[in-house]
């Protein structure tokens, strides 16, 4: 193999061609543009969304039509949870300099639809994502980023940890949407990465009790590590009855979070709420679930949805910088781009329970940032 260095006109990227077809390819390194920064990617997390695309896609990745905002069609570069270091700064960029450590906010919105106009670009009618909809991604040596997508990584936060800011922002947004207040009780359904990060956020925001329901004992252990006090298996325990026992006179939790995408978990969450409690759904569903609607009527309960994040990154950066939230325990493997499919995607599909986050170094660790 010929020696390559950073002056090379090409870079290696994980390109998504369709279900079960991800190729590590040499592609053109993006040319610097005005208003943009060239970011050398340090670490990129693999997300459940990426796995869905791999197993059953294209779902969010462009299909037959190019994405309405990016104009991209397949193949697209994957990776939307990442951090890196700025290598070049385009004309008109004043806030950023070469060497700045950054994390990327990956939502792409149109700025014109109703949702965008009310400041809710995360619900844009043409919603897209870096690393899914075109524009490049984090599973690549470089990413040419619009300057407004970048956030500064505090000096004391590692770029590894910063790569997990994206799912943390999902959790911060969900907790904010739920109306949760300090001192309240919460039930988290599902202890995958989002369930664990939700638990972390609830601890940081002063929940008086966090109960987690999750069938896998390995995952329950992760939720415990995140700070859940009561770990329940829905296969062994009547979760609704146990929640009512634990919450005593209140007769249920203030807030429940559906992070499992499971019909039974959703039903459990609604039934485990106290009067006027709120269920926040953060899971994405492949099939519409049945809802116990009379619980909503007679208990005056609410169901709310939460999609990605909007204006949550400053909170995320602050929480990581102050040490209020620490995520390093949730990195369960670090791999190189060459091993992406075998040790990343396939590992997460077949050994899901053993993992929370697998981080990928697109430079194959030849360049190792902290
Ligand atoms: Zn994600
Ligand atoms: Zn829009």
Q: Closest Cα partner for 43 from 320, 335, 339?
A: 335
Mean pLDDT calculated for residue range 116-133: 96
All domains in the chain, ordered by first residue: 10-164+327-361 (3.90.180.10), 171-305 (3.40.50.720)
Which ranges in 165-312 belong to alpha helices (H)? 165-178, 193-204, 217-226, 239-247, 263-271, 293-298
Amino acid 84: pLDDT? 97
Query: Which bound ligand lies closest to the C-alpha atom of 116?
Result: 2
Please say whether the beta carbons of 175 and 205 come within 8 A: yes
| Alpha carbon of 334 to ligand 2 centroid (Å) | 35
Distance CA 22, CA 15 (A): 6
H/E stretch holding 53 reads helix 48-56
The answer on pLDDT for 3 being more than 70 is no
Query: Which bound ligand lies closest to the C-alpha atom of 192?
Result: 1
Distance CA 105, CA 172 (A): 14
| Alpha carbon of 114 to ligand 2 centroid (Å) | 7
| Alpha carbon of 73 to ligand 1 centroid (Å) | 20
Amino acid 200: pLDDT? 98
Query: Which bound ligand lies closest to the C-alpha atom of 117?
Result: 2
| Alpha carbon of 111 to ligand 2 centroid (Å) | 5
CA distances from 151 to 81, 156, 304 (A): 13, 15, 28
| Alpha carbon of 81 to ligand 1 centroid (Å) | 6
H/E stretch holding 117 reads helix 114-117
The answer on pLDDT for 364 being more than 80 is no
| Alpha carbon of 28 to ligand 2 centroid (Å) | 30
Query: Which bound ligand lies closest to the C-alpha atom of 118?
Result: 2
Mean pLDDT calculated for residue range 8-15: 93
What is the b/e burial string over 323-341, where b = at least 16 CB atoms within 10 angstroms of the residue's CB? eebebeebbbbebbbebbb
State the CB neighbour count (10 A cutoff) for residue 99. Answer: 9
Q: Which of 32-36, 84-88, 362-366 comes out lowest in average pLDDT?
A: 362-366
| Alpha carbon of 275 to ligand 1 centroid (Å) | 33
Query: Judging by DSSP bridges, how do beta strands 331-336 and 36-45 pair with one another?
Result: unpaired
The answer on pLDDT for 1 being more than 50 is no
Tell me the pLDDT band of 64, cut-offs 50, 70 and 90.
confident
Residue range 196-253, pLDDT digits in tens: 999 999 999 999 999 999 999 999 999 999 999 999 999 999 999 999 999 999 999 9
Query: Which bound ligand lies closest to the C-alpha atom of 104?
Result: 1
Judged by DSSP in three states, 118 sits in: coil
Mean pLDDT calculated for residue range 138-161: 97
| Alpha carbon of 108 to ligand 2 centroid (Å) | 9
Distance CA 312, CA 284 (A): 20
Query: Judging by DSSP bridges, how do beta strands 273-281 and 302-305 pair with one another?
Result: parallel
Q: How far apart are the first and last CA of the chain?
A: 27
Tell me the pLDDT band of 286, cut-offs 50, 70 and 90.
confident
Residue range 244-269, pLDDT digits in tens: 999 999 999 999 999 999 999 999 99
| Alpha carbon of 115 to ligand 2 centroid (Å) | 6
Query: Which bound ligand lies closest to the C-alpha atom of 121?
Result: 2
| Alpha carbon of 156 to ligand 2 centroid (Å) | 35
| Alpha carbon of 103 to ligand 1 centroid (Å) | 14
Distance CA 263, CA 297 (A): 19
What mean pLDDT is reported for the chain?
95
Amino acid 357: pLDDT? 93
Q: What would the two tokens of residue 203 be?
A: 């601890």
Burial class (CB in 10 A: 0-12, 13-18, 19+), 264: middle
| Alpha carbon of 123 to ligand 2 centroid (Å) | 7
| Alpha carbon of 324 to ligand 1 centroid (Å) | 22
Amino acid 8: pLDDT? 74
| Alpha carbon of 207 to ligand 2 centroid (Å) | 34
Amino acid 352: pLDDT? 87
Q: Which residue has the tokens 């950073």?
A: 6
Mean pLDDT calculated for residue range 87-108: 97
Amino acid 345: pLDDT? 97
The answer on pLDDT for 41 being more than 60 is yes
What are the DSSP calls for 122-190, one per residue? GG-TT-EETTTSSS--SSBSEEEEEGGGEEEPPTTS-HHHHTTHHHHHHHHHHHHHHT--TT-EEEEE-
Which residues are within 5 Å of ligand 1 (an ion), measured at CB? 47
Residues 6+ positions from 53 with CB-CB distance below 8 Å: 16, 19, 59, 60, 61, 78, 132
Query: Which bound ligand lies closest to the C-alpha atom of 50?
Result: 1
Judged by DSSP in three states, 44 sits in: strand
Q: Cis omega before residue 75 (within 30°)?
A: yes
Query: Judging by DSSP bridges, how do beta strands 185-189 and 81-89 pair with one another?
Result: unpaired
């Amino acid at each position: 193999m010929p020696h390559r260095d950073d002056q090379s006109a090409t870079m290696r990227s994980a390109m998504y061609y369709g279900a079960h077809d991800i190729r590590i390819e040499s592609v053109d390194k993006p040319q610097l543009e005005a208003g943009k920064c060239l970011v050398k990617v340090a670490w990129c997390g693999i997300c459940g969304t990426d796995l869905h695309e791999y197993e059953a896609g294209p779902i969010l990745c462009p299909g037959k039509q190019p994405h309405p905002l990016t104009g991209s069609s397949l193949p697209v570069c994957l990776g939307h949870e990442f951090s890196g270091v700025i290598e070049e700064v385009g004309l008109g960029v004043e806030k950023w300099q070469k060497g700045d450590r950054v994390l990327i906010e990956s939502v792409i919105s149109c700025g014109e639809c109703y949702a965008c106009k009310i400041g809710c670009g995360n619900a844009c009618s043409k919603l897209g994502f870096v690393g899914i909809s075109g524009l490049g991604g984090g599973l690549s040596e470089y990413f040419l980023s619009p300057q407004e997508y970048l956030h500064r990584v505090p000096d004391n936060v590692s770029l590894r940890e910063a790569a997990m800011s994206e799912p943390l922002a999902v959790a911060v947004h969900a907790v904010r949407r739920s109306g949760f207040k300090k001192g309240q009780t919460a039930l988290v359904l599902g202890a995958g990465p989002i369930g664990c990060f939700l638990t972390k956020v609830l601890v940081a925001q002063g929940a008086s009790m966090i109960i987690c329901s999750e069938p896998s004992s390995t995952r329950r252990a992760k939720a415990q590590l995140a700070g859940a006090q009561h770990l329940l298996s829905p296969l062994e325990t009547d979760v609704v009855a146990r929640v009512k026992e634990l919450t005593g006179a209140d007769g249920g939790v203030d807030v429940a979070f559906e992070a499992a995408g499971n019909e039974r978990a959703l039903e459990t969450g609604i039934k485990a709420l106290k009067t006027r409690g709120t269920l926040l759904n953060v899971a994405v569903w492949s099939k519409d679930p049945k809802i116990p609607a009379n619980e909503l009527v007679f208990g005056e309960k609410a169901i709310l949805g939460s999609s990605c994040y909007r204006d949550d990154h400053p909170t995320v950066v602050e929480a990581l910088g102050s040490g209020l939230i620490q995520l390093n325990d949730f990195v369960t493997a670090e791999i190189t781009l060459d091993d992406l499919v075998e040790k990343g995607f396939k590992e997460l599909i077949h050994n899901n329970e053993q993992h929370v986050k697998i981080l990928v170094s697109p430079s194959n660790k030849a360049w190792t940032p902290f």
